[in-house]
Structures are given as structure tokens and as C-alpha cells.
């Protein structure tokens, strides 16, 4: 990309502007470019995303009014066309025709990474069937932003999108996910948050650690962390919060082993180890307090 100080008059130019400096966008290859856009703070857009949007022949977006805020901020004049769940069936053939004509088409959502809780995957599926290239342009993602701020285990996580709106369907879906050994991530609306948290506490267990991430990257960003039961109780007493919400729930809380199982494990370890080593090994195996296991091992050691 090459920076220039002024924009030539007349026609559409494949370039974008940052703080008054115009930057030429190099040509991009034909195909469907899946471009992530900011989830709130417009400064989070990547340089590659701006260059791709500027160089494309067409941008398919959920709401042209929302996307125009981004394109106007960076001086991008690529034509926009709406593509959302209500017009997808009618618009998909037109986008596929553009791809067949050798055009570079960008797919974006109102915020974040496309295909996450939107109909974009059907377009990708159809484009692949037509032999067109899919080019991901990664960037902001609300579920990942929530995950890194939640303070919950991140080595394994499951994104489950939006839960059913009715209580029966919601509880059934939660029951299906209850045993998944990973952090669960959901999107939720402000109006349903309190009811969903109550169902989560009832079905998944109120002791599970959780976080509610709201308005991520925006001026009023907030992350509340507590047990599911505490969060459910708090939100039941408050008016519905504002903004986009990500709900994150830590993995299932393992039930502690029975006392007789702990004694059996310690007795076995004491056959070949001293009290301290046996307690340390038992703590590593069970996750229980090493000090408590040490005292229990001492008691077992003193038995006939």
C-alpha cells in the first residue's frame, strides 16, 4: 500500500483514508472475502480489512446504514448491498453471479466476524460449491474478546450462539451442554438475560463460575464475574442492561471424591512414599488441599 496526501477527483478509487492520509489499496483476487469488522470501537479495524473493503467490487453487509458508518469513517466508496436472513434467498444468486463474473465480493456483518450467528455460512457453502475461493480476513470477535476478559479457562471452549427464547427449549438446550468439559459462550439479548441466567443456574449448577461481558470495546464496557447463582440473583433485581451481551460459563465443577476413596488413595501411596510425598501426589490427583491431605495421611500412618 502506498500513502498519498490527496485524493484524485472523479470516479471511485481503491483507497482508504486514515487521519486525513489517503492510502492506495492494491488489487485483490476474485472470490468471496470474509472480512471481520469492529464490534464497537471503529479503531479496531485492521489495515488489511480496510484495504480489502476498498479494493473489492462489492460489499455484502447486514445493514447498509451500519456499514456506511465504517466506510465513511475511512473514506471507502465500494458499493454496498444488503445481505441478511430476511433477503438471503433472493440475494444469494446475485452474489454468486458476481463471483462467477470474476468479481471480488466482501461479506461482512454489522459487527465482528461474519458467519458467527448470521446466515453467511450458506453463502460460503454455495460459493464453495460453485468453485469460488473463500478468503478469510480475520479480526474482531465478540466471543473471543469476552473469553480473554472473563478470567475463565480458555484452553477449551464451546460457542453455542443464542439460546432458544422459550424457557422449555432453553432448559433443554442447556441440559445438552451441561456436561461439556469446556467454557460455554453464549450471545444473549438484554431483555432475556435475567431469565436465561436463572435457567443456567438451575440447569448447569449455581456454583459454576461465570462472566457477563457487555458493550465490549465501547465507552461503557463492563465485565461482571461471579458464580452463576450470584449473577442470576443480581440481574433479577436490576433493569435489563443495555448493549450487546456475551455470557461465559466456566466448565462443570467436579464433585469432590468420597472420603473413603481419598483414604484408599492415600493408603496406596503411603505404601511406597513418605507422608509428605503421598499428600503431594494425592493433591495432584484430586485437586484437594495438600495440607488437609497431609493431616489425613498422618492419621492413616498412625493406624495399625
The full length of the chain comes to 304
CA distance 98 to 186: 34
Superfamily of segment(s) 144-249: Tetrapyrrole methylase, C-terminal domain (3.30.950.10)
- Assess whether pLDDT exceeds 50 at residue 9: no
Instruction: Report which of 284, 253, 248, 251 is spatially closest to residue 266, judged by C-alpha positions.
Output: 284
Q: What is the pLDDT of residues 89-145, one digit of tens each?
A: 999 999 999 999 999 999 999 999 999 888 899 999 999 999 999 999 999 999 999
What SS3 class is residue 115?
Answer: coil
Residue 112 three-state SS: strand
Longest distance between any two alpha carbons in the chain, whole Å: 97
The per-residue pLDDT for 3 is 45
Taking only Cα atoms into account, the Rg of the chain, rounded to an integer number of angstroms, comes to 26
φ and ψ at 212, to 5 degrees?
-115, 115
Which tens digit of pLDDT belongs to each residue from 151-204? 999 999 999 999 999 999 999 999 999 999 999 999 999 999 999 999 999 999
pLDDT of residue 11: 54
Fold of 2-140: Cobalt-precorrin-4 Transmethylase; domain 1 (3.40.1010)
Would the pTM count as exceeding 0.85?
Answer: no
Q: What's the Cα-to-Cα distance from 245 to each of 162, 211, 226, 287, rounded to whole Å?
A: 11, 10, 16, 33
Amino acid at each position: 500500500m502506498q500513502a498519498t496526501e490527496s485524493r484524485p477527483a472523479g470516479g471511485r478509487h481503491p483507497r482508504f483514508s486514515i487521519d486525513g492520509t489517503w492510502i492506495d489499496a492494491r488489487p485483490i483476487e476474485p472470490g468471496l472475502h470474509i472480512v471481520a469488522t469492529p464490534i464497537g470501537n471503529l479503531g479496531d479495524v485492521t489495515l488489511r480489512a480496510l484495504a480489502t473493503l476498498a479494493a473489492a467490487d462489492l460489499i455484502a453487509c447486514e445493514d447498509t446504514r451500519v456499514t456506511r458508518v465504517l466506510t465513511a469513517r475511512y473514506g471507502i466508496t465500494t458499493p454496498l448491498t444488503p445481505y441478511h436472513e430476511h433477503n438471503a434467498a433472493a440475494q444469494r444468486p446475485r452474489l454468486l453471479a458476481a463471483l462467477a463474473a470474476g468479481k471480488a465480493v466482501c461479506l461482512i456483518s454489522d459487527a465482528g466476524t461474519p458467519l458467527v450467528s448470521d446466515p453467511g455460512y450458506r453463502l460460503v457453502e454455495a460459493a464453495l460449491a460453485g468453485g469460488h475461493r473463500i478468503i478469510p480476513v480475520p479480526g474482531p470477535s465478540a466471543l473471543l474478546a469476552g473469553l480473554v476478559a472473563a478470567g475463565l479457562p480458555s484452553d477449551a471452549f464451546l460457542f453455542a450462539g443464542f439460546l432458544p427464547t422459550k424457557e422449555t427449549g432453553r432448559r433443554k438446550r442447556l441440559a445438552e451442554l451441561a456436561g461439556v468439559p469446556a467454557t460455554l459462550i453464549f450471545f444473549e439479548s438484554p431483555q432475556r438475560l435475567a431469565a436465561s441466567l436463572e435457567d443456567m443456574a438451575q440447569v448447569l449448577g449455581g456454583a459454576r463460575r461465570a462472566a457477563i461481558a457487555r458493550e465490549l470495546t465501547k465507552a461503557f464496557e463492563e465485565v461482571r464475574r461471579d458464580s452463576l447463582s450470584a449473577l442470576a440473583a443480581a440481574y433479577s433485581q436490576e433493569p435489563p442492561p443495555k448493549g450487546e451481551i456475551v455470557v461465559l460459563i466456566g466448565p462443570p465443577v467436579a464433585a469432590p471424591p468420597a472420603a473413603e476413596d481419598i483414604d484408599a488413595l492415600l493408603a496406596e501411596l503411603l505404601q511406597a512414599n513418605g507422608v509428605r510425598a503421598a499428600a503431594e501426589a494425592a493433591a495432584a490427583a484430586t485437586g484437594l488441599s495438600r495440607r488437609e491431605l497431609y493431616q489425613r495421611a498422618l492419621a492413616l500412618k498412625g493406624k495399625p
